Amino acid sequence: MTGGGNRDTTKLLMERSVPGRVGAVLPQPDVPAQPLPDPSLLRTELDLPEVSEPEVVQYFTALSQRNFSIDTHFYPLGSCTMKYNPKINDEVSFLPGLAGIHPLQPLESAQGALELLYRLQGFLAEITGLPGVGLSTLAGAHGELAGMLMMRAYHLARGDTNRRQVLIPDSAHGTNPASAAMAGFDVVTVVSDDQGNVDLKALHELVGPNLAGVMITLPSTLGLFDTGIVEVCQTVHQAGGLVYGDGANMNALLGRVKLGALGFDVVHLNLHKTFSTPHGGGGPGAGPVCVADSLIPHLPAPVVTQSSGDGAPVYGLAAPARTIGKLSGFHGNFGVLVRAFTYILTLGGEGLRAISGNAVLNANYLMEALKDTYYLPYDRRCMHEVVFSADWQKARGASGLEIVKRLLDYGFHAPTLYFPLIVHEALMIEPTESETWETLDAFIQALRDIDREVTEDPELVRGAPHTTPVSRLDEATAARQPDLRWRAAG
Amino acid sequence: MLATLGVASIDELFQDIPEEFRNPPLDLPQPMSELEVQKELDGLASRNRALASGPSFLGAGCYNHFIPAIVKALMTRGEFLTAYTPYQAEASQGTLQVIYEFQTLISHLYGMEVANAGMYDGATSLAEGVLMACRVTRRSHVAVADTLSPYYRQVIEAYCQAQGIEIHSVSPGQSLSLDQETACLVVQYPNFYGYIEDLAGLTEAAHAQGALIVVSAGPMAMGMFQPPGLYGADIVTGEGQPLGIPPSYGGPYVGLFSTKQEYIRQMPSRLSGRTVDSQGRTGYVLTLQTREQHIRRERATSNICTNEALYALAATIYLAALGKQGLRSVAELCYQKAHYAAARIAQLPGYTLPIQGTFFQEFVVQCPVSPSSINSRLLEQNILGGLDLSEAFSNVPPSEGGTTGGSSSQPPGDFTNGMLLCVTEMNSRQEIDALVEALSEFGR
């Protein structure tokens, strides 16, 4: 419950504004007054709020309390890997020698930063089994774009100009087809079989001389390890295509298998998922790309290099020979890369293996405990997440949407809803490794209680949530009559 | 837990992985305690020269500005820091209201009708603005001012490489060679060299051909100079880093993106909209999501799903704290100090200011010797000098768009021994005087 007065969040910044108030005082000029430019160039009005420092602190603190977060709530949002974000990672990223360095300062004055990046490239290469690593891509989808542009560059460099087709399973994240389209490809959907694997028969029929490659998420968004993955890779390679791996679900595979060994040619990692960097309410992330030898010349610029002269190694930045170019302003989301590097140092190889083990154990524990209560469309060993369907509850009058809204009343963030698209009324639950047995049991109990409520008190479920700062919001009007910013009354 | 699953070990849970690929050796370092990790990172950090350790005059897209303590204090609250994208609106009102505030303040800053929830950074925001202009106009030729940042130019080229878009350079101030196939004119304001472009004239020239004008505008300059919206700009993007975000060796930052109301359905990235709940209370939701990849897949306006919300929050806190007076004060301090520095350097033997016009906080100096060699000497005195322009433009093709001859055939950025210097409110007069003194050594 937030407070009244300035701590009441109903007033926006512009509505709190009182002429003359300032939240930060700047020093007086210490240089002689300089001539001003032509007045026509100068701004006469600047409509920013005028509020004091305490007001800013009170308002934003009150706003923060209207969020669920990992630190305050279990957040089993499937495919998002909402694990604990260690505080040491944030702390070191704010060190003046890391947060306070300029991306264009001379390389000799940033050797510590470059060494960190170089070592991180090596760590990610070892984890994926893919020797080339580019760190400059700023998010998962940004890594996908880089990967697909590399796929395009690879075919074009071989004079193979007709390979315009990219196959994407029907279970894929929406970013996959969107990224393939931005890289100029035509997207063709390949169906999944009744085990949730890529349908090999369908795949064989679709591959041909126009095939550029496939985009595969492993484990799939159904939370399942595709047992035909080796054949998928072989089939695509035999047709002259490349295999793109969406690494969104790497939390299941750390130390268990190397994607490069399975036949993947290019993989992006989501450091804000698998490697624990905080999501920040929607970013920043980082989406490094890891590639096989054949794609190293096409990596996005820059990559970090090491040269060993006579003395200590010297680190630099370089553009690969046939790079797809520069996809971000500088060298990547360094502050995020620092956090991921710190995480890997803390855990080491054995720690990373323990993470995938515990993540998969927790998901399977939830699956076993809940599969009698919620319909489980793919009844087999899951990996780091489990996908249920709310079909049984829907038949009794409460949809998946209403069930997850009711979960908010129990103090749990909702699972991912209605995704993947191939599962009706999908509820995708990813507990991660960092929750205790007690929390998992409380969550299981909540989902069982809600199931009982669907029968005994369906209106309670259908009207949920009841305890959040706002109840169900009118999304239709928001889209029909978009109100995207504050405007002065009248 | 294992017993409930009927397995003896965690390893048994991974049997779907083909055995020959299962449990490969992993050659990574041994685990470290927090104490050891902290020392390791302290060691790496100590081998970088921090901006705060001495006078710094480097800008070129990343700026050293004062950040009030409340920015970090508020943005690192776990409730903001460890939340996900606000798909569940009832559980994310804090983040959604912050984004709505951000959209309001950025549209005010640029004088535009609407702004989105943020992009990756300034360069990608501009590149997405170019792609959007091509969608809006259904044209595929893009004219890029040769006064645009070479780094941004490269990102536009990378984003457009598979889209059948033709990019050519034009020189503002000369005949622009725009035509009926031109989707947009791309301009930076202030431009890469720090100077104010004639946005009124450039906007008119673009609109005369039915093209849009896409501007990359420095947010700090908006504290002092007319906003692009005033001149009728169609899409205004920018790098949010100057607004309370540390340089961090290039990221994470937040890209700013604003446009006209009529184009909102062609915008990339998230939008937070104000609405009401079932009891009539005001609340916020992600809206117009049918533009986005998770709904529209390969027909989405962009593949983006990360809006850098944490740094949109940082910029919002910064703009709230500084407010109307504060942003103006910072901008004027930058202007005053930069002009003081420029005037003093121009008096040094061997140094000239080759560009005529109005600049904000950056300016080009032609030096008597190569800027890189000057920078090495400056660094020995713990002064971080400006950008060597010949290095910055080493990957950019020369301008070919100008029809009037003259300097349009000159490669962009080709000021002999050109150095791009930046002065902000962080630089005291004493620091500026030390820079001038150090530079004077080379002009003798």
Report pLDDT digits (tens) over A3-46: 888 889 999 999 999 999 999 999 999 999 999 999 999 999 99
- Among A74, A137, A179, A89, CA closest to A323: A137
Q: State how beta strands B272-276 and A313-318 pair.
A: unpaired
Instruction: Decide which of A151 and B301 is more confident.
Output: A151
> Which two tokens mark A27?
């020093």
Q: Encode pLDDT of A186-239 as tens digits.
A: 999 999 999 999 999 999 999 999 999 999 999 999 999 999 999 999 999 999
Confidence at residue B400, expressed as pLDDT on a 0 to 100 scale: 42
Short-list B101, B82, B91, B81, CA closest to B273 = B101
Structure confidence at residue A311 (pLDDT):
83
Does residue A299 register a pLDDT over 50? yes
Residue A50 in contact with residue A20, Cβ under 8 Å? yes
H-helix segments, B236-370? 293-296, 309-346
State the count of interchain CB pairs (< 8 A) between A and B.
636
> Is the peptide bond preceding residue A209 cis, with omega within 30 degrees of 0?
no
The residues in B 165-194 lying below 8 A from A, measured between CB atoms, are none
What is the DSSP-derived secondary structure letter of residue B56?
B
Cβ-in-10-Å burial (0-12, 13-18, 19+) of B140 comes to middle
| pLDDT over 60 at B397, yes or no | no
What is the structure's pLDDT at A114? Answer: 98
Tens digit of pLDDT for each residue in B45-85? 999 999 999 999 999 999 999 999 999 999 999 999 999 99
Q: Which residues contact B102 (CB under 8 A, 6 or more apart)?
A: B115, B117, B118, B312, B313, B315, B316
Which residue type, as a one-letter code, is found at position B224? M
Determine the pLDDT at residue A38: 96
Q: Does residue B159 have a pLDDT over 60?
A: yes
Give yes or no for a contact between A296 and A147, defined as CB atoms under 8 angstroms apart.
no
Query: Within 10 Å of residue B402's Cβ, how many Cβ atoms?
Result: 21
CA pair distance B83, B80, nearest whole angstrom: 6
Judged against a pLDDT cut of 70, whether residue B404 lies above it is answered with no
- On whether the CB atoms of residues A440 and B4 are closer than 8 A, the answer is no
Residue B409: its pLDDT value, please? 38
Confidence of residue B399 (pLDDT cuts 50, 70, 90): very low
Residue A269 to residue A253: CA distance in whole angstroms: 12
Phi, psi of B273 (to 5 degrees): -120, 150
pLDDT of amino acid B413: 63
Please state, rounded to an integer, the average pLDDT across all residues of chain A: 97
pLDDT at residue A5, rounded to an integer:
86
Q: What is the pLDDT of residue A1?
A: 55
Which of B31, B303, B329 lies at the smallest CB-CB distance from A182?
B303
Residue B403: predicted pLDDT: 31
Q: Which residues contact A358 (CB under 8 A, 6 or more apart)?
A: A433, B10
Q: For residues B343 and A35, what is the distance between their CA atoms, to the nearest angstrom?
A: 11
- Pair A326, B155: CB distance under 8 Å: yes
User: Distance, in angstroms, between A299 CA and closest chain B CA?
Assistant: 12
pLDDT at residue B369 in the model: 96
In this structure, which amino acid lies at residue A162? N
**Structure-token match 């009891």, residue found:** B279
For residue B73, the distance in angstroms to the closest alpha carbon of chain A comes to 9
Closest by Cα among A266, A241, A243 to A324: A266
Is residue A323 a contact partner of residue A300, using CB atoms and an 8 Å limit? yes
Closest CA to A362 of A420, A439, A418, A416: A439
pLDDT above 70 for B412:
no
Mean pLDDT, residues B344-371 taken together: 97
Question: Where are the domains positioned within chain B?
Answer: 51-68+323-440, 70-315
pLDDT of residue A2: 62
pLDDT at residue B299 is higher than 90 = no
Nearest CB to B304; choose among A141, A149, A187:
A141
Contacts of A14 (CB under 8 A, 6+ apart): A47, A49, A486, A488, B104
Residue B338 in tokens: 């930069």
pLDDT at B407 over 50: no
As a whole number of angstroms, the distance between CA A474 and CA A471 comes to 10
Q: Just give the CATH number of A88-346.
A: 3.40.640.10
Stated as kind and residue range, the H or E segment containing B131 is helix B122-137
* % of chain B residues with pLDDT over 90: 89
The larger pLDDT score, comparing residue B309 to residue B294, is at: B309
- Residue B128 is predicted with a pLDDT of 98
Fold topology of A358-475: Aspartate Aminotransferase, domain 1 (3.90.1150)
Q: Which helix (H) or strand (E) holds B239?
A: strand B235-239
* Token pair for B367: 């030096």
Min Cα separation A381/chain B (Å): 7
How far B133 CA sits from the closest chain A CA (Å)? 15
User: Are residues A139 and A277 in contact, defined by beta-carbon separation less than 8 angstroms?
Assistant: no
Q: Which chain B residues are within 8 Å of A27, Cβ to Cβ? A: 333, 425
Q: Please give the Cα distance from A259 to A267 (Å, whole number).
A: 8
Q: Is residue B426 classed as helix, strand or coil in its secondary structure?
A: coil
Q: Which residues of A touch B275 (CB under 8 A)?
A: 473-475, 477-478, 483
The pair of structure tokens assigned to B32 is 């470290």
Contact B247, B62 (CB under 8 A): yes
pLDDT (mean) for A110-126: 98
Whether B347 has its CB under 8 Å from any CB of chain A: the answer is no
- Mean pLDDT score, B384-411: 61
What confidence tier does A316 reach under pLDDT thresholds 50, 70, 90?
very high
CATH 3.90.1150.10 location in chain A: 358-475
- pLDDT tens-digit series, residues A437-489: 999 999 999 999 999 999 999 999 999 999 999 999 999 999 999 999 999 98
Question: Domain B70-315 belongs to what architecture?
Answer: 3-Layer(aba) Sandwich (3.40)
Q: Which of residues 308-337 of B touch A (CB under 8 A)?
A: 308-311, 313, 317, 319-330, 332-333, 335-337
Q: Give the C-alpha separation, A391 to A399, whole Å.
A: 8
Pairing of strands B114-115, B255-259: antiparallel
Residues from chain B contacting residue A149 (CB–CB below 8 Å): 158, 161-162
Cβ–Cβ of B326/A24 closer than 8 Å? yes
Return d(Cα B179, Cα B121) in angstroms, integer: 30
| B290-312: b (≥16 Cβ within 10 Å) or e | ebbbbebbbebbbbbbbbbbbbb
C-alpha span between A64 and A72 (Å, rounded): 11
Domain B51-68+323-440: give its CATH code. Answer: 3.90.1150.10
Q: Which residues 244-303 on chain B approach chain A with CB closer than 8 angstroms?
A: 246-253, 264, 270-279, 281-285, 287-290, 292-300, 302-303
CATH 3.40.640.10 segments of chain A:
88-346
Q: Which residues of B touch A166 (CB under 8 A)?
A: none
Q: How many CB atoms lie within 10 A of CB A14?
A: 20
Q: Is A474–B278 a contact, with Cβ atoms under 8 angstroms apart?
A: yes
Q: Map tokens 């995480």 to a residue.
A: A343
What is the pLDDT at residue B394?
74
The model's pTM is 0.97
**Paired residues of A188 in beta bridges:** A167
Q: Is the separation of the CB atoms in A473 and B285 below 8 Å? A: yes
ipTM of the complex in this document: 0.98
Higher local confidence (pLDDT), B396 or A316:
A316
What is the pLDDT confidence band of residue B393, given thresholds at 50, 70 and 90?
A: confident
pLDDT tens-digit readout, B10-20: 999 999 999 99
Q: pLDDT tens across B187-243, in order?
A: 999 999 999 999 999 999 999 999 999 999 999 999 999 999 999 999 999 999 999
